[in-house]
Structure 1
Amino acid sequence: MSDTLDAAPAPAADPPAARGIRAGLRPLLVRLHFHVGLFVGPFILVAAVTGLIYTITPQLDQLLYRDALTVPAATTAVDLRTQVAAAAAAVPDGTLTSIRPAATPTATTRVGFDSPGVAEDDARTAFVDPHTGQVRAVLDTFGEWLPTRAWIDTLHRNLHLGEVGRVYSELAASWLWVLAVSGLVLWVVRRRRRSRLRRTLLPEASARGRARVRSWHGSVGLWAAIGMLGLSATGLTWSQFAGTNVSALRTALDWTTPSVSAELPAASVPAPTGEAAERVLAAARAAGMTDPVAITPPEEAGQAWTVAQVQRSWPLKQDSMAVDPSSGTVLETIRYADWPVAAKLAEIGISAHMGILFGVANQLLLIALALGIIVVVVWGYRMWWLRRPTRSGATAPGGTERPGVAAVAVVGLAAVVLGVFLPVLGASLLLFLLGDALWQEYRRSRAS
């Protein structure tokens, strides 16, 4: 009697249907991780290599464009209107689009123009010595990126193939998190069954052959998994199809980055460009805005000028103000502290993805992550080579067990749902399920 009372209750068994789905899901998950990794691996490898190169672009900028970026420190300075006038003379056919006053005594002022012959979304930028008013260089820039960094950035995003090339990076970003999660599940479950915590976290030094490669592949992938998820999520915000859906979702949920109104009082009168720039900068600084800032003239006559902080390193400075250029009155202020949480997280995540959130520490972390992704992909191909179909005794990934119909249906439904928000992922996942089903049927017919 006491034995009956003291005995721990037996755990409830999973329903047969749940056990069937789980049992049928594992071989499908193994093949998904293996075959998708085999075909998507090159895209991820290219993204990792180009991303690795991108992480060192701040140092490349300083090395290649030192004369444009830096000047000797001095106690004298010319006013902003003089600097803008000098820049306009250096780009006589340009229309002013932005001004970034020197944030430090050894930095130059950047004055950007929309000019004939400049690529779409680029600017022709004059770099002006704030102490002398002399133009030190004129370069084509993309946002704040100088030519080399802009070229590498485009290489990373679309391989310089335009909109068609963006599919490559979206495919890599879409599948990176799937491969990270599926690999993590397979690795942890495999090690948990063998009660090998240390060998889960660290590679097996004593292993040989394919087991050794798999040990390094799994352990490094485990440590890099969180970083892969972060890169995938932030990378998708820039993507061609998923990025559009992300923007629409943020708009619907009011998670977008807020912006100041460009509306001016009826009594406002136009002011000369140089004078207006100096006046709006003085007004913003008097209202508490600190460097670094970017000044943006209105796109149309009769609108306010905008002054916005542009520091994307920690702590972020992203306050913005709308200023009347004729009177210097601050019309509206939006503080970064008042941004929606989702907008803040997006800004932080993107800055971390670009390696500028924590400076050199952020760069080193991205370098380690990129190298980790590269070696994980290479080890994945090494395992395939050791298990290649033409090798004697080789077995197919997932063994001979066929995935259950219920498991395929669950994954197929997930592909349809994901396809609504992540079209490239959903479409390629459906193609995988179709291809895997045809391959399994082909193997079954040959065996019979």
Structure 2
Amino acid sequence: MYKTQTAPMGWNSWDCYGAAVTEDIVRQNAAFMAEHLKQYGWEYITVDIQWAEPTAENHEYHPFTELCMDEYSRLIPAVNRFPSSADGKGFAPLAEYVHSLGLKFGIHIMRGIPRQAVHQNTPILGSTQTARQIAKTDSICHWNTDMYGVNPEAEGAKAYYDSLFTLYASWGVDFIKCDDIARELPHEETELILLSRSLQDCGRDMILSLSPGPALLEKAELYKQTSNMWRITDDFWDSWPQLYEMFDRAREWCIHAGNGCWPDADMLPIGPIKQDYDPSLSTEFTQDEQITMMSLWSIFRSPLIIGGEMTKFDDFTMGLITNEDILKMHRNARHSHPVWQKDIDGTEHILWTAVSSEGGQYAVIFNTGEQDSSVRIPLQDLEIYHPVHSTELWSGQTSEIAETINVSLKKHGAAVFYLN
């Protein structure tokens, strides 16, 4: 399995445009990333769900809609939304453009085979079997009607998945977000294994990201063997209760992060989102909540996938995603884990720590309560028994700490310290 030394960083079209993103939007966000963010490690540009649907218009799905498909049962981009895909070129021209910027290109897929291929009984490339013969028609997605599952035991099943990833490799795809599979285990475990094997056999290095969550903790080793990242939550949006819940998910999954395997806390709903509904909509997270989110995702080493329309980011949002010290923590944190979660003067706080691969130690303190607070953190809570030099990574403030870190926090806020 292709492994990455650090958790992937990029942009995905879902939070802004749902099922309805178009080629010009993808290109403008890719150009923005290349000019403003690539130098900080951001590199993946991913087209999310329904790119084969000509009539997609927002975050809602059209049940049993007609999709664009080639003669071998494989979905292809809708030309009205992705004009460069005309004449059978698929996503190759768009991927070539993204690559020309020094970035990498990704697409969303659904597990299985298109229902319309099964109904039309279309051929499978490299097999005498047809779509109807390899379909598992009692395996369906409960929130999207596009696909049937594939029967991994059927002759021709491997040929179908081989043909998919051979096609994606020919387009120049670097990242696959496969949906309707992460939380479907153990029922669809053999299909995940089959799909993963076909990706590994295609001759091109690709990230495999599994969705949706919550992934099953007892299947952690299987996710590691078959993929690079897997969602530990259902769709994550700009809601404080969802963000608060992520502390428990991160606590459960933190021991599994690293060595090319990345539990995924989902996208960062920052800046303008849900542009398909209203171009004026922006994240409902406060600035302090966004700092908390970025701090938790980074020490936990979740993949960092931007969800907002990047070309409309304000100065605060740009500062949030270009803080080099925070991104360095995302790359270098090791053995990340929570130290404690407790009430201090009537307000709940959570302390996380990690060692740095370059030496030193990180400490992140979160105020998850409903009022501002002042907190004292004894160094001995971090198993440090000598004075240290401290840098708070969001403010850049430095100090010498003898015994106790003293910090003031806004409600739902966070502070990140590098101690050496």
TM over 0.5: no
The structure showing larger relative contact order (alpha-carbon pairs under 8 Å, at least 6 residues apart) is 1
Pick the structure with more strand per residue: 2
Pick the structure with more helix per residue: 1
User: Normalised by the size of structure 1, how large is the TM-score?
Assistant: 0.21
User: Normalised by the size of structure 2, how large is the TM-score?
Assistant: 0.22
Bigger radius of gyration among the two? 1
